[in-house]
Structure 1
Amino acid sequence: MASDVQRTEESTFRAYLDAVGLHSMAGATAAGLQPTEWYALSQLASAGALTSGQLSARIGLTTGATTRLIDRLERVGYVRRVDDPDDRRKVVVEPVAEALAGIGALVAPARSKIAEILDHYTPEQRELLFDYFARATPAFQEATEQIRSQN
């Protein structure tokens, strides 16, 4: 049986994850996007540019569904398709800088609040926090793939 401390830690962690998820959904809605489109745009912004196959693998959609997602993002001006400089047979998808600036404005309040929170930590504590983020990210990605592979 879980101790009160474990239940409190789990509850706190769940509340944190839910808050992050809800913030993402609110950001997507404010940007006129579906959550999957928001996530795809985040992946593109992080990578700079991806082929549709690379994007498909990252977001867990079929290639056909990813093509339709890219079509929608391109139609509303968030991404553009450009020739792959390394392979003329391929096209890469890249985010439109001006559109990302609009997204940045949407998430600026949260970024500012998180920066204020982080300012309360010592450099050593921040190092520990970011070590956790770096280690937890692949763990969540692996768990996501496990869920996807079961369906």
Structure 2
Amino acid sequence: MKHQRDESGQWLAGLSKPMLSLRTFLTAHDEMQRRQARRMAINATDMQALRLLDLHGEMGPTELGRRLDLRSASVTVLLDRLEATGYVERVRDERDRRRVTVRALPDALELLFDTWAPVVRALDDVGHGLTPEQQEVVSAYFDQMSAVLAGDVVEY
């Protein structure tokens, strides 16, 4: 399939206004995530790992690597870095000493919260500024977009 460019030379000509806004939002989010990671003196992938551990709780290195789309060796290096900073710990299973679980430490989660809370609150203020009807439309749009991304429906 040949992709078209718009008059400015950008790929994917004819994108809807919501899609263009979403693309701008995602770019701003990526840049902000890198800034937030720098504030914590870690890189963006380390930040993603901490956010996953905060969201889903402790998990094995294999599961963390799958969620981050990293190879085993890269996960080991990532965990070594986060462990050295005191942000995570590896815990051996009592019954099966070969099994290791990774858990974010409370101080790391507190720092993560302190770093992100002002941003989340500011974004939430935007949502609270919408009428209930507008909130429903925006929520439906994001729910549909999330379903598309979660379904992995795009063929490459």
Fold-level match, TM-score > 0.5?
yes
The one-letter code sitting in structure 2 at the alignment partner of 1:13 is L
- The yes-or-no answer on 1:58 pairing with 2:71 is no
Pick from 99, 112, 128: which aligns with 2:108? 99
Task: Give 1:134 shift.
Answer: 4.1
Secondary structure of the structure 2 residue equivalent to 1:80: strand
Measure, in 2, the Cα distance between the counterparts of 1:112 and 1:66.
Answer: 31
Pick from 112, 115, 125: which aligns with 2:124? 115
- The yes-or-no answer on 1:23 pairing with 2:25 is no
TM-score under structure 1 length normalisation = 0.79
TM-score under structure 2 length normalisation = 0.77
Measure, in 2, the Cα distance between the counterparts of 1:146 and 1:57.
Answer: 20
Identity of aligned residues (%): 28
Relative to structure 1, is the Cα distance of residues 128 and 48 closer, same or farther in structure 2, using a 3 angstrom cutoff? farther
Measure, in 1, the Cα distance between the counterparts of 2:33 and 2:114.
Answer: 14
Runs of at least 5 residues in structure 1 that lack an aligned partner in the other structure: none
Secondary structure of the structure 1 residue equivalent to 2:86: coil
Secondary structure of the structure 2 residue equivalent to 1:50: coil
Runs of at least 5 residues in structure 2 that lack an aligned partner in the other structure: 7-12
Measure, in 1, the Cα distance between the counterparts of 2:146 and 2:111.
Answer: 26
Counting matched residue pairs gives 146
Measure, in 2, the Cα distance between the counterparts of 1:139 and 1:88.
Answer: 40
Which structure: larger Rg? Answer: 2
Query: Deviation string for 1:112-146 (max 9, x for gaps)?
Result: 11121111234454354444444433533565x96
Pick from 65, 68, 72: which aligns with 2:81? 72
The one-letter code sitting in structure 2 at the alignment partner of 1:72 is R
Higher helix share: 1
Measure, in 1, the Cα distance between the counterparts of 2:40 and 2:29.
Answer: 16
Task: Give 1:11 shift.
Answer: 3.1
Report what 1:47 is aligned to. Answer: 56
Give 1:104-143 correspondences, 5 Å limit.
104-123=113-132, 125-137=134-146, 139-140=148-149
Measure, in 1, the Cα distance between the counterparts of 2:82 and 2:150.
Answer: 24
Report what 1:37 is aligned to. Answer: 46
Secondary structure of the structure 1 residue equivalent to 2:42: coil
